[in-house]
Structure 1
Amino acid sequence: MLGLSANYCLKCGDALENRDIDGTFRKACPSCDFIFWGDYSIGVGALVIKDGKFLLVKRAHNPGKGYWTNPGGYIEQLESIEDTIVREVEEEAGIKAKVRSVVAIRDLPRSVHNLYIAFAMDYLEGIPSPDGIESDEAGFYSIEETESMNVAPFTKWLIHLAYNGKTEGLLKDTNPFVPLDDHVLFRIL
Protein backbone atom coordinates (compact mmCIF):
# COMPACT_ATOMS: atom_id res chain seq x y z
CA MET A 1 0.00 0.00 0.00
CA LEU A 2 2.99 2.29 0.09
CA GLY A 3 2.46 3.42 -3.52
CA LEU A 4 -0.78 5.29 -2.84
CA SER A 5 -1.15 8.79 -4.23
CA ALA A 6 -1.68 10.85 -1.05
CA ASN A 7 1.45 12.62 0.09
CA TYR A 8 0.08 15.36 2.34
CA CYS A 9 -2.43 15.37 5.17
CA LEU A 10 -5.94 16.36 4.11
CA LYS A 11 -6.56 17.87 7.57
CA CYS A 12 -3.42 19.88 8.37
CA GLY A 13 -1.24 19.76 5.25
CA ASP A 14 1.84 18.10 6.79
CA ALA A 15 3.75 15.49 4.80
CA LEU A 16 2.45 11.99 5.43
CA GLU A 17 4.71 9.23 6.67
CA ASN A 18 4.46 5.46 6.28
CA ARG A 19 3.27 3.89 9.51
CA ASP A 20 2.26 0.37 10.56
CA ILE A 21 -1.44 0.59 11.46
CA ASP A 22 -2.81 -2.74 12.71
CA GLY A 23 -0.31 -4.72 10.64
CA THR A 24 -0.71 -2.77 7.39
CA PHE A 25 1.54 0.06 6.27
CA ARG A 26 -0.52 3.16 5.57
CA LYS A 27 0.21 6.82 5.01
CA ALA A 28 -0.48 8.73 8.22
CA CYS A 29 0.07 12.23 9.51
CA PRO A 30 2.76 12.67 12.19
CA SER A 31 1.05 15.87 13.44
CA CYS A 32 -2.62 14.90 13.76
CA ASP A 33 -4.89 11.83 13.68
CA PHE A 34 -5.34 11.64 9.86
CA ILE A 35 -4.78 8.25 8.21
CA PHE A 36 -5.03 7.77 4.45
CA TRP A 37 -7.02 4.54 4.16
CA GLY A 38 -6.75 4.32 0.35
CA ASP A 39 -8.38 5.42 -2.89
CA TYR A 40 -11.92 4.15 -3.33
CA SER A 41 -14.79 4.83 -5.68
CA ILE A 42 -18.38 3.68 -5.41
CA GLY A 43 -20.36 3.20 -8.58
CA VAL A 44 -24.03 2.44 -8.99
CA GLY A 45 -26.00 0.92 -11.84
CA ALA A 46 -29.68 0.60 -12.68
CA LEU A 47 -31.66 -2.33 -13.97
CA VAL A 48 -34.91 -0.72 -15.09
CA ILE A 49 -37.39 -3.08 -16.75
CA LYS A 50 -40.49 -1.92 -18.64
CA ASP A 51 -42.76 -4.39 -20.44
CA GLY A 52 -40.11 -7.12 -20.19
CA LYS A 53 -37.39 -4.92 -21.71
CA PHE A 54 -34.25 -3.52 -20.07
CA LEU A 55 -33.20 0.13 -20.18
CA LEU A 56 -29.79 0.43 -21.85
CA VAL A 57 -27.65 3.37 -22.94
CA LYS A 58 -24.85 3.44 -25.49
CA ARG A 59 -21.72 4.92 -23.89
CA ALA A 60 -20.54 8.12 -25.58
CA HIS A 61 -17.11 8.18 -23.89
CA ASN A 62 -14.63 5.96 -22.11
CA PRO A 63 -14.68 3.83 -20.14
CA GLY A 64 -16.80 1.68 -22.41
CA LYS A 65 -17.32 3.99 -25.39
CA GLY A 66 -19.52 2.25 -27.96
CA TYR A 67 -20.81 -0.40 -25.57
CA TRP A 68 -24.41 -0.68 -24.48
CA THR A 69 -24.65 -0.65 -20.68
CA ASN A 70 -27.17 -0.18 -17.95
CA PRO A 71 -27.28 3.48 -16.81
CA GLY A 72 -25.10 4.32 -13.84
CA GLY A 73 -22.33 6.42 -12.42
CA TYR A 74 -20.37 7.40 -9.34
CA ILE A 75 -21.71 8.77 -6.08
CA GLU A 76 -20.87 12.27 -4.95
CA GLN A 77 -19.38 12.72 -1.47
CA LEU A 78 -22.60 13.90 0.24
CA GLU A 79 -25.08 12.06 -1.99
CA SER A 80 -26.76 8.80 -0.98
CA ILE A 81 -26.43 5.84 -3.33
CA GLU A 82 -30.20 5.89 -3.78
CA ASP A 83 -30.20 9.56 -4.84
CA THR A 84 -27.23 8.87 -7.12
CA ILE A 85 -28.86 6.09 -9.11
CA VAL A 86 -32.14 7.97 -9.49
CA ARG A 87 -30.17 10.99 -10.79
CA GLU A 88 -27.96 8.93 -13.12
CA VAL A 89 -30.92 7.15 -14.76
CA GLU A 90 -32.63 10.46 -15.43
CA GLU A 91 -29.43 12.17 -16.65
CA GLU A 92 -28.23 9.38 -18.95
CA ALA A 93 -31.56 8.07 -20.24
CA GLY A 94 -34.31 10.62 -19.47
CA ILE A 95 -36.22 8.08 -17.39
CA LYS A 96 -37.67 8.59 -13.93
CA ALA A 97 -37.39 5.44 -11.81
CA LYS A 98 -37.34 4.52 -8.14
CA VAL A 99 -35.19 2.04 -6.27
CA ARG A 100 -36.76 -1.32 -5.46
CA SER A 101 -33.81 -3.44 -4.32
CA VAL A 102 -30.09 -4.13 -4.45
CA VAL A 103 -29.52 -7.06 -6.80
CA ALA A 104 -25.74 -7.29 -7.11
CA ILE A 105 -22.47 -5.97 -5.75
CA ARG A 106 -19.18 -6.08 -7.63
CA ASP A 107 -15.84 -5.66 -5.88
CA LEU A 108 -12.97 -4.61 -8.16
CA PRO A 109 -9.71 -4.18 -6.20
CA ARG A 110 -7.21 -2.07 -8.15
CA SER A 111 -5.26 1.20 -7.73
CA VAL A 112 -8.58 2.96 -7.11
CA HIS A 113 -10.59 0.20 -5.42
CA ASN A 114 -14.07 0.19 -6.99
CA LEU A 115 -17.26 -1.06 -5.40
CA TYR A 116 -20.31 -1.18 -7.70
CA ILE A 117 -23.87 -1.61 -6.46
CA ALA A 118 -26.57 -2.62 -8.95
CA PHE A 119 -30.19 -1.71 -8.22
CA ALA A 120 -33.43 -3.10 -9.56
CA MET A 121 -35.57 -0.03 -10.21
CA ASP A 122 -39.24 0.47 -10.96
CA TYR A 123 -40.00 2.50 -14.08
CA LEU A 124 -42.10 5.59 -13.30
CA GLU A 125 -42.22 7.68 -16.48
CA GLY A 126 -40.35 9.06 -19.44
CA ILE A 127 -39.24 8.24 -22.94
CA PRO A 128 -35.63 7.08 -23.30
CA SER A 129 -33.46 9.92 -24.52
CA PRO A 130 -29.65 10.10 -24.32
CA ASP A 131 -27.96 13.09 -22.71
CA GLY A 132 -25.47 13.48 -25.58
CA ILE A 133 -22.58 13.63 -23.11
CA GLU A 134 -22.36 10.28 -21.33
CA SER A 135 -24.76 8.44 -23.63
CA ASP A 136 -25.55 8.87 -27.31
CA GLU A 137 -28.42 6.35 -27.56
CA ALA A 138 -30.97 5.03 -25.06
CA GLY A 139 -33.88 2.62 -25.16
CA PHE A 140 -35.64 -0.41 -23.73
CA TYR A 141 -34.49 -3.71 -25.25
CA SER A 142 -35.54 -7.33 -24.90
CA ILE A 143 -33.06 -10.07 -24.11
CA GLU A 144 -33.38 -11.23 -27.73
CA GLU A 145 -32.60 -7.74 -29.05
CA THR A 146 -29.49 -7.46 -26.85
CA GLU A 147 -28.01 -10.58 -28.46
CA SER A 148 -27.15 -8.60 -31.61
CA MET A 149 -26.01 -5.46 -29.73
CA ASN A 150 -22.53 -4.61 -28.44
CA VAL A 151 -23.53 -5.09 -24.78
CA ALA A 152 -20.71 -4.83 -22.23
CA PRO A 153 -19.95 -8.19 -20.56
CA PHE A 154 -20.69 -6.92 -17.04
CA THR A 155 -24.05 -5.55 -18.24
CA LYS A 156 -24.82 -8.95 -19.82
CA TRP A 157 -24.17 -10.54 -16.43
CA LEU A 158 -26.43 -8.02 -14.66
CA ILE A 159 -29.26 -8.53 -17.19
CA HIS A 160 -28.98 -12.30 -16.80
CA LEU A 161 -29.06 -11.93 -13.02
CA ALA A 162 -32.08 -9.60 -13.06
CA TYR A 163 -33.96 -11.72 -15.57
CA ASN A 164 -33.23 -15.12 -14.02
CA GLY A 165 -32.82 -14.21 -10.35
CA LYS A 166 -34.70 -16.32 -7.84
CA THR A 167 -35.03 -13.58 -5.21
CA GLU A 168 -35.83 -9.89 -5.24
CA GLY A 169 -32.44 -9.05 -3.72
CA LEU A 170 -31.94 -6.80 -0.70
CA LEU A 171 -35.01 -4.62 -0.24
CA LYS A 172 -35.04 -1.17 1.31
CA ASP A 173 -35.84 -1.32 5.02
CA THR A 174 -38.16 1.65 5.52
CA ASN A 175 -38.99 0.77 9.12
CA PRO A 176 -35.96 -0.71 10.90
CA PHE A 177 -36.67 -2.21 14.32
CA VAL A 178 -33.84 -0.05 15.71
CA PRO A 179 -34.08 3.64 14.74
CA LEU A 180 -30.95 4.60 12.78
CA ASP A 181 -31.13 8.25 11.77
CA ASP A 182 -29.47 9.20 8.48
CA HIS A 183 -29.01 5.56 7.45
CA VAL A 184 -30.37 4.07 4.24
CA LEU A 185 -30.67 0.35 4.88
CA PHE A 186 -31.22 -2.62 2.56
CA ARG A 187 -31.84 -6.13 3.87
CA ILE A 188 -33.45 -9.47 3.18
CA LEU A 189 -37.09 -9.09 4.15
Structure 2
Amino acid sequence: MIFLFILSLIILLIIFPIPIKIEVKFIDNIFFFKFFNKLIYTSKDGIQIKFLKKIIENKSNRKDKKYSYKEEHPPKKKKVNLKKKKKKIAIIRLYKYLRNNKFKPLIKIKGYLDYGIEDAALCALLYGILNIVPGFLYYILSIVFEVNSLRLNITPEFNKKLLSFGITGIFYFNIANIIYILFLFYKSLEYKEVTP
Protein backbone atom coordinates (compact mmCIF):
# COMPACT_ATOMS: atom_id res chain seq x y z
CA MET A 1 0.00 0.00 0.00
CA ILE A 2 2.81 2.43 0.95
CA PHE A 3 4.73 1.42 -2.19
CA LEU A 4 1.71 2.25 -4.41
CA PHE A 5 1.29 5.62 -2.68
CA ILE A 6 4.97 6.52 -3.23
CA LEU A 7 4.82 5.33 -6.85
CA SER A 8 1.67 7.37 -7.57
CA LEU A 9 3.28 10.44 -5.94
CA ILE A 10 6.37 10.08 -8.14
CA ILE A 11 4.19 9.72 -11.26
CA LEU A 12 2.24 12.85 -10.29
CA LEU A 13 5.49 14.81 -9.80
CA ILE A 14 6.75 13.64 -13.19
CA ILE A 15 3.56 14.50 -15.08
CA PHE A 16 2.04 17.53 -13.33
CA PRO A 17 3.95 20.81 -13.01
CA ILE A 18 4.98 22.31 -9.66
CA PRO A 19 4.55 26.11 -9.40
CA ILE A 20 7.54 28.06 -8.04
CA LYS A 21 6.88 31.71 -7.17
CA ILE A 22 9.71 34.24 -6.98
CA GLU A 23 9.15 37.92 -6.23
CA VAL A 24 11.68 40.77 -6.38
CA LYS A 25 10.89 44.34 -5.28
CA PHE A 26 12.76 47.62 -4.86
CA ILE A 27 10.68 50.24 -3.05
CA ASP A 28 11.92 53.36 -1.17
CA ASN A 29 15.58 52.29 -1.54
CA ILE A 30 14.82 48.92 0.12
CA PHE A 31 15.37 45.67 -1.76
CA PHE A 32 13.08 42.66 -1.13
CA PHE A 33 13.38 39.08 -2.29
CA LYS A 34 10.50 36.66 -1.66
CA PHE A 35 10.15 32.95 -2.34
CA PHE A 36 6.60 31.49 -2.06
CA ASN A 37 5.46 34.73 -0.32
CA LYS A 38 8.14 34.25 2.38
CA LEU A 39 10.69 37.01 2.81
CA ILE A 40 14.14 35.54 2.10
CA TYR A 41 16.18 38.74 1.97
CA THR A 42 15.68 42.45 2.56
CA SER A 43 18.33 45.19 2.64
CA LYS A 44 16.56 46.79 5.63
CA ASP A 45 16.78 43.78 7.97
CA GLY A 46 20.23 42.67 9.03
CA ILE A 47 19.33 39.07 10.00
CA GLN A 48 20.02 37.66 6.54
CA ILE A 49 23.29 39.62 6.28
CA LYS A 50 24.45 38.16 9.62
CA PHE A 51 23.52 34.69 8.37
CA LEU A 52 25.56 35.23 5.18
CA LYS A 53 28.53 36.51 7.24
CA LYS A 54 28.44 33.31 9.33
CA ILE A 55 28.54 31.17 6.18
CA ILE A 56 31.53 33.17 4.83
CA GLU A 57 33.36 32.89 8.18
CA ASN A 58 32.79 29.12 8.29
CA LYS A 59 34.18 28.77 4.76
CA SER A 60 37.26 30.86 5.61
CA ASN A 61 37.87 28.73 8.75
CA ARG A 62 37.68 25.54 6.67
CA LYS A 63 40.20 26.98 4.19
CA ASP A 64 42.61 27.87 7.04
CA LYS A 65 42.37 24.29 8.35
CA LYS A 66 43.13 22.94 4.87
CA TYR A 67 46.22 25.15 4.55
CA SER A 68 47.53 24.07 8.00
CA TYR A 69 46.99 20.42 7.03
CA LYS A 70 48.90 20.97 3.78
CA GLU A 71 51.84 22.53 5.67
CA GLU A 72 52.07 19.56 8.06
CA HIS A 73 51.58 16.96 5.32
CA PRO A 74 53.20 18.09 2.06
CA PRO A 75 51.43 16.69 -1.00
CA LYS A 76 52.90 13.74 -2.82
CA LYS A 77 54.20 14.31 -6.31
CA LYS A 78 51.80 13.05 -8.92
CA LYS A 79 52.54 11.94 -12.43
CA VAL A 80 51.59 14.68 -14.84
CA ASN A 81 49.53 13.71 -17.87
CA LEU A 82 50.63 15.56 -20.97
CA LYS A 83 47.07 15.73 -22.28
CA LYS A 84 43.89 16.29 -20.33
CA LYS A 85 40.29 16.27 -21.50
CA LYS A 86 38.50 19.48 -20.65
CA LYS A 87 34.70 19.79 -20.61
CA LYS A 88 33.20 22.95 -22.04
CA ILE A 89 29.61 23.90 -22.91
CA ALA A 90 29.16 24.81 -26.58
CA ILE A 91 26.95 27.91 -26.26
CA ILE A 92 25.60 27.87 -29.84
CA ARG A 93 24.76 24.16 -29.63
CA LEU A 94 23.06 24.65 -26.24
CA TYR A 95 21.08 27.62 -27.63
CA LYS A 96 19.81 25.46 -30.53
CA TYR A 97 18.83 22.60 -28.20
CA LEU A 98 16.97 24.88 -25.79
CA ARG A 99 15.29 26.82 -28.60
CA ASN A 100 13.98 23.63 -30.25
CA ASN A 101 13.00 22.00 -26.94
CA LYS A 102 9.36 20.82 -27.12
CA PHE A 103 9.15 20.19 -23.35
CA LYS A 104 9.75 23.72 -22.07
CA PRO A 105 8.56 24.60 -18.55
CA LEU A 106 5.83 27.25 -18.34
CA ILE A 107 6.42 30.72 -16.93
CA LYS A 108 4.18 33.68 -16.01
CA ILE A 109 5.70 37.12 -15.46
CA LYS A 110 3.98 40.14 -13.94
CA GLY A 111 5.77 43.34 -13.03
CA TYR A 112 5.83 47.11 -12.79
CA LEU A 113 8.35 49.92 -13.02
CA ASP A 114 7.75 53.41 -11.62
CA TYR A 115 10.55 55.84 -12.37
CA GLY A 116 11.08 59.55 -12.47
CA ILE A 117 13.74 62.03 -13.64
CA GLU A 118 13.79 65.77 -13.02
CA ASP A 119 14.35 66.43 -16.72
CA ALA A 120 10.92 65.79 -18.32
CA ALA A 121 12.31 65.42 -21.88
CA LEU A 122 14.82 62.78 -20.80
CA CYS A 123 12.11 61.01 -18.80
CA ALA A 124 9.88 60.81 -21.92
CA LEU A 125 12.81 59.57 -24.05
CA LEU A 126 13.61 56.89 -21.47
CA TYR A 127 9.95 55.82 -21.46
CA GLY A 128 10.17 55.13 -25.20
CA ILE A 129 13.35 53.07 -24.75
CA LEU A 130 11.96 51.11 -21.77
CA ASN A 131 8.91 50.02 -23.79
CA ILE A 132 11.27 47.82 -25.84
CA VAL A 133 12.16 45.84 -22.68
CA PRO A 134 9.03 43.59 -22.53
CA GLY A 135 9.55 42.35 -26.11
CA PHE A 136 13.27 41.75 -25.50
CA LEU A 137 12.53 39.97 -22.20
CA TYR A 138 9.91 37.80 -23.92
CA TYR A 139 12.46 36.73 -26.55
CA ILE A 140 15.12 35.86 -23.93
CA LEU A 141 12.69 33.90 -21.76
CA SER A 142 11.15 32.06 -24.73
CA ILE A 143 14.51 30.37 -25.39
CA VAL A 144 14.21 28.30 -22.20
CA PHE A 145 10.54 28.69 -21.19
CA GLU A 146 7.08 28.53 -22.69
CA VAL A 147 5.95 32.07 -21.83
CA ASN A 148 2.29 31.88 -20.80
CA SER A 149 1.87 35.58 -20.03
CA LEU A 150 4.13 38.59 -19.71
CA ARG A 151 2.78 41.86 -18.30
CA LEU A 152 5.02 44.80 -17.41
CA ASN A 153 3.52 48.19 -16.51
CA ILE A 154 5.94 51.10 -16.96
CA THR A 155 4.85 54.40 -15.39
CA PRO A 156 6.93 57.59 -15.79
CA GLU A 157 6.81 60.34 -13.13
CA PHE A 158 7.87 63.64 -14.64
CA ASN A 159 9.93 66.21 -12.70
CA LYS A 160 10.57 63.73 -9.86
CA LYS A 161 13.44 61.54 -8.70
CA LEU A 162 11.92 58.10 -8.30
CA LEU A 163 12.76 54.45 -8.85
CA SER A 164 10.66 51.51 -7.70
CA PHE A 165 10.05 48.20 -9.40
CA GLY A 166 8.63 44.80 -8.69
CA ILE A 167 8.54 41.57 -10.66
CA THR A 168 6.77 38.31 -9.88
CA GLY A 169 7.60 35.14 -11.78
CA ILE A 170 5.71 31.87 -11.45
CA PHE A 171 7.56 28.89 -12.92
CA TYR A 172 5.78 25.62 -13.63
CA PHE A 173 8.31 22.77 -13.55
CA ASN A 174 7.96 19.04 -13.38
CA ILE A 175 10.69 16.44 -12.92
CA ALA A 176 10.55 15.48 -16.62
CA ASN A 177 11.32 19.11 -17.63
CA ILE A 178 14.30 19.30 -15.28
CA ILE A 179 15.74 15.95 -16.40
CA TYR A 180 15.35 16.85 -20.08
CA ILE A 181 16.99 20.29 -19.64
CA LEU A 182 19.93 18.68 -17.78
CA PHE A 183 20.18 16.14 -20.62
CA LEU A 184 20.37 19.03 -23.15
CA PHE A 185 23.18 20.61 -21.10
CA TYR A 186 24.99 17.27 -21.14
CA LYS A 187 24.51 16.93 -24.91
CA SER A 188 25.98 20.40 -25.47
CA LEU A 189 29.25 19.52 -23.71
CA GLU A 190 32.29 19.27 -25.91
CA TYR A 191 35.61 17.70 -24.92
CA LYS A 192 38.95 19.21 -25.80
CA GLU A 193 42.41 17.81 -25.17
CA VAL A 194 44.43 20.48 -23.40
CA THR A 195 48.09 20.42 -22.39
CA PRO A 196 48.49 21.50 -18.75
By relative contact order (CA 8 Å, sep 6+), the higher-ranking structure is: 2
Q: TM-score range by the shorter chain?
A: under 0.3
Which one has a bigger Cα radius of gyration?
A: 2
TM-score w.r.t. structure 1 length? Answer: 0.17
TM-score w.r.t. structure 2 length? Answer: 0.16
